[in-house]
Amino acid sequence: MDPEISHARQHTLGDLPRRSAARFPDKTAIVDGSTRLSFAELDATVDRVAAAIADAGLAKGDRLALLSHNCWQFAVLDFAAARVGVVLVPINFMLGGDEIAYILDHSGASAFVVEDGLLDVAGRALTALGRPVPVRAVVRVAGGPVPEGWVDVQDWVERDGVPPHVPVADDDPVRMMFTSGTESRPKGALLSSRALMWQYVSCVVDGSMSADDVELHTLPLYHCAQLDCFLGVDVYLGATSVILPGPDPAAVLAAIAEHRVTKYFAPPTVWIGLLRSPDFDTADLSSLRKGYYGASPMPVEVLKEMRERLPDVDLWNFYGQTEMSPLATILGPDEQLTHAGSAGRAALNVETRIVAADGSSVDPLAPHEVGEIVHRSPHATLGYHEDPARTAEAFQHGWFHSGDLGYLDDDGRLYVVDRKKDMIKTGGENVASREVEEAIYTMPGVAEVAVFGVSHPRWVEAVTAVVVAKDGADLTPDSVLAHARSVLAGYKAPKYVVVADALPKNPSGKILKRQLRDEHATIATG
């Protein structure tokens, strides 16, 4: 296509702040503590930071890894990187040094931006990486010093400069999101502006989002749900985003009252925490009109309680995964109680069906017949970075294979019944059972281990391990827990460990995790 025509038609992630600034220049875009940015100020800041990124030597297609808690700088860096075609790689701030090093290495990151409070773990990651990262910058949230060899992101924010025009096509990658699967190492899912933009449209239409929203963001922005179902959509629409570093119940309730928040997303564990807070009944929540949950099903009794205690709040259940940018299906307000437990219907720009779980065909199964959930949509990932085999496996027969098992009812509502990839969703975070198993297997004296999720009143699912000791080995639940915590991020480590004589298996030797789940179903509740 003629470059002039391509330029005139460009509609990418990096363009969004400029377009919202043209419509709402003086409207508040972002609130983070004492920092308030109008849309005009947000766009100008994105421009300066994009220019600084380019001046630092980063070019289209290079990767910028970002390790930070929620802050306004996170939002700026997301759009600034996209504006010059640099691929943003958000990193989970709960990971350990070795885990971060793997992401830096696998992504090929040539820039590493780190919040000052996370410099210690970043240093361990760089040591484990064993190679230099040319561009290193610090987000000084706590106001700490800038280490030698690093630059201050605030210098990028305050400098003068105009970014170069970089043609970014709809399907150029702008994001690499790392997602855990059954493998012991996470995969880098590549997302394009096309995927994100169509996903934003689905969120807007099916999630009843608008420019009048005032949204509170408390879940980690490194997570695709908070970043791309909510923050990105708010900037796209011209809605106001209030950013908190985390979902502390007292802080959430106070922020809703102070900022007259109308819209809030959280996994069930956070909603449960709000309902149990001693401040809940006295907090002014009269402005709140829209509530969203995802990452795991909302317990029916909690849904009933929310309807009673938040009668003016409409609820939506968002289901999906990183590879779908991440939205796939939505259960709307009118069906929360009548179809509790359902993940709803395919979103506006998504086609969803249930197919044979063995991957032999993508012919649709009959209603209520359990199979693998697959999607066809522009939301879908471009594939996994430097992993053609798993990319091909995920896109068999021209559909994206989710790895989840479920069924559709007679009216096309989706019910997720199991996880083909054996993923555990605890507190809104994904934990791959095999990764935890591999970590426990590194402990001397472990003969066998099976890791799975059990129902938990707070975390919805809790990581649980059943371990068999080698002959003569003296394993205890406490020693296994200590080992796991020494090599894994805290949320990945088991909350419960059982030392057993043997693991149940079928005739072919496969461990029967379903039987283990049933046997230990009440371990969290006594």
**pLDDT tens, the chain, 526 aa long:** 798 999 899 999 999 999 999 999 999 999 999 999 999 999 999 999 999 999 999 999 999 999 999 999 999 999 999 999 999 999 999 899 999 999 999 999 999 999 999 999 999 999 999 999 999 999 999 998 999 999 999 999 999 999 999 999 999 999 999 986 434 578 999 999 999 999 999 999 999 999 999 999 999 999 999 999 999 999 999 999 999 999 999 999 999 999 999 999 998 888 988 998 999 999 999 999 999 999 777 878 889 999 999 999 999 999 999 999 999 999 999 999 999 889 999 999 999 999 998 899 999 999 999 899 999 999 999 999 999 999 999 999 999 999 888 999 999 999 987 666 667 888 888 787 878 888 898 899 998 899 999 999 889 899 999 999 988 999 999 999 999 999 999 999 999 999 999 988 764 456 788 889 999 999 988 7
The structure tokens listed for 193 are 């502006």
The residues that bridge with 429 in the sheet, in sequence order, are: 426
Domain with CATH 3.40.50.12780 in the chain: 195-419
SS3 content of the chain, % helix, strand, coil (to 5): 35, 25, 40
Query: What is the CATH superfamily name and number for domain 423-519?
Result: ANL, C-terminal domain (3.30.300.30)
In order of 205, 439, 445, 447, 502, the CA distances from 472 in angstroms are 61, 21, 8, 11, 15
Cis preceding-peptide flag for 326 (omega within 30 of 0) = yes
8 A C-beta contact, residue 277 and residue 253? yes
Placement of tokens 């990971």 in the chain: 95
Q: What is the pLDDT of residue 420?
A: 65
> Is 195-419 CATH 3.40.50.12780?
yes
Query: Strands of 400-408's sheet, edge to edge?
Result: 351-355, 371-376, 400-408, 414-419
Return d(Cα 520, Cα 526) in angstroms, integer.
Answer: 10
Q: What is the pLDDT of residue 268?
A: 85
The structure tokens listed for 399 are 């559909």
Indicate the fold that domain 3-18+41-169 takes in CATH.
Rossmann fold (3.40.50)
Could you give the count of Cα atoms lying within 13 Å of 506 in the half-sphere of its Cβ? 7
Return d(Cα 419, Cα 421) in angstroms, integer.
Answer: 5
Phi, psi for residue 466 in degrees, rounded to 5 = -110, 125
Phi, psi for residue 82 in degrees, rounded to 5 = -65, -35
Domain with CATH 3.40.50.980 in the chain: 3-18+41-169
Q: What is the pLDDT of residue 109?
A: 98
Which is nearest to 223 in space by CA: 422, 382, 13, 68?
68
